[in-house]
Amino acid sequence: MSLPRFWSNVRAVAYREAQILRHDRAIVFSLLFQPVLLLAIFGGVLSNKPSNVPWAVLDRSATTVSRKLVADVRSMGYFLAPVAVTSTAEGRNRLHEGESLALLVIPDTFARDVERGGAEVQLLLDGSDPLSSARVAGYIALAVASFDPRATLTRADPALRTPGPVAIRQRFQFNPTLRDRDFFLAAIAGMLLTNVCFSATSLGFVGEREAGTYEQMLSLPVTSLEIVIGKLLPHLAIAYALLAGTLLAAGIVFGVWVRGSLFALALVTLPFVLASLAVGVLVSVLARNSAQAIFITVFFTLPSFIMSGIMMPYQLMPHGVREVGGLLPLRWYQIALRRIVERGAGLADVAVPAVVLVTIFVVLILVVRFRMKPRLG
């Protein structure tokens, strides 16, 4: 074969493939939308700079001076309005539940200690995310160090015109040494399960279509729902084996063991795996060929890793993005994982994530059920 004929054939095949891709709307949409989505997330959403930080305050002093200190922290622009708690136990519980990232404790003698130049406050932080907790601690420490109560005082208070500095005692909960590996290893099982579950089922029905057995499968004396559930169940054993292997490896190699209930972890894993597998089935039902299924799977996988809170705390994400991330199964599973692995949580502590995961699974199954068609056309 001559060289000109060779390149002519190559161009003909390339032209044919380009025409196929041009008319494949799913692939074109993925190619155009994914860069826009990732640019928007990485450029306008994700940041290591704390924002919208939920925190709590235990103000035992309840004086103008203590309220001025709280206002100074809030005015830095990184924090939401503080939640007032009535006891240290209530504040610690908020840290345990992940509802607050910091707890500022102001003693009842704060105003008097300011007069004497020996005031001190305590700061408890959720150390499960070392980078964010260290930054939050730094900003609060900066506000406390630069605190000047004289703006709240009157000329009739001569003893308070030269107040002393305010000291701060910091303590990190759940990860006192702020080891980065604890943060990542606590939720790495969620990333692996997401990737495996999406990939395992996204090519299922597409493969049936391409093999010419799709309508034959639908003609069996079973319902569409039974077909979908039957396709999901064999993957459960693989998912649990992967979970067990990941947790054992993290404990043996890095010393990161599960502190909470293994039963709760096994129980909450079930709806998460089913929901993730259902996402893959939905992709397989929507896609018309394997290439489309792969592109759509990547479209689901990347936002799941970014917006779920695996890479950075979801509490620090802007409103809107945070709510969209709440639609992803990985968001709720990583919450349950970190509560169980790092905080020593039990079944009651992960009840809400478990219920949400069950709801997501049911909704996805219903969408898949009504999307499946008895005929190829």
One domain for residues 360 and 214: yes
One domain for residues 314 and 188: yes
Q: What is the CATH number of the domain that holds 115?
A: 3.40.1710
| Confidence (pLDDT) at 278 | 87
One domain for residues 367 and 233: yes
| Confidence (pLDDT) at 324 | 83
Q: Which of 177, 197, 218 is the last residue of a domain?
A: 177
One domain for residues 127 and 237: no
**∠ CA 94-57-160, rounded to 5°:** 165
Q: How far apart are CA 362 and CA 34, in angstroms?
A: 27
In a domain, 42, yes or no: no
Q: How far apart are CA 92 and CA 316, in angstroms?
A: 20
Q: How far apart are CA 118 and CA 111, in angstroms?
A: 10
In a domain, 307, yes or no: yes
One domain for residues 147 and 189: no
* Token representation of residue 320: 């809107």
One domain for residues 310 and 219: yes
Length of the chain measured in residues: 377
Asked if residue 264 lies in contact with residue 347, where contact means CB atoms within 8 angstroms, the answer is yes
| Confidence (pLDDT) at 357 | 96
Q: How far apart are CA 46 and CA 377, in angstroms?
A: 42
Q: Which of 140, 159, 177 is the last residue of a domain?
A: 177
In a domain, 315, yes or no: yes
> Is 46 exposed, middle or buried, given 0-12, 13-18 or 19+ CB atoms closer than 10 A?
middle
One domain for residues 143 and 87: yes
Tell me the pLDDT of the chain (377 aa) as tens digits: 577 777 777 777 777 767 766 766 666 666 666 666 666 666 666 666 677 888 999 999 988 888 989 999 998 888 889 999 999 999 998 988 888 889 999 998 888 888 777 788 999 998 888 878 888 888 898 888 888 776 665 544 444 445 557 888 898 888 888 887 888 888 889 988 998 888 777 776 676 666 666 666 666 676 666 777 777 777 888 899 999 999 999 999 888 899 999 999 999 999 999 999 888 888 887 777 777 777 778 777 877 888 888 877 777 777 777 788 889 999 999 999 989 998 888 999 899 999 999 999 999 988 887 776 554 44
Q: Which residues contact 24 (CB under 8 A, 6 or more apart)?
A: 289, 291, 292
Rounded to an integer, what is the distance from CA 81 to the centroid of its chain?
A: 22
Rounded to an integer, what is the distance from CA 289 to the centroid of its chain?
A: 31
* Token representation of residue 84: 């007032």
pTM value is: 0.76
One domain for residues 204 and 85: no
Residue given tokens 């203590």 in the structure block:
66
In a domain, 12, yes or no: no
One domain for residues 205 and 352: yes
* Token representation of residue 162: 């030269």
| Confidence (pLDDT) at 303 | 79
Q: Which residues contact 337 (CB under 8 A, 6 or more apart)?
A: 186, 187, 189, 190, 265
Which domain does 66 fall in, by range? Answer: 55-177
In this structure, the dihedral spanned by the alpha carbons of residues 58, 64, 66 and 69, taken in order and rounded to 10 degrees, is 120
In a domain, 142, yes or no: yes
In a domain, 62, yes or no: yes
Q: Which of 177, 199, 234 is the last residue of a domain?
A: 177
In a domain, 134, yes or no: yes
One domain for residues 193 and 337: yes
In a domain, 71, yes or no: yes
| Confidence (pLDDT) at 90 | 93
One domain for residues 187 and 310: yes
One domain for residues 152 and 227: no
Domain count across the chain = 2
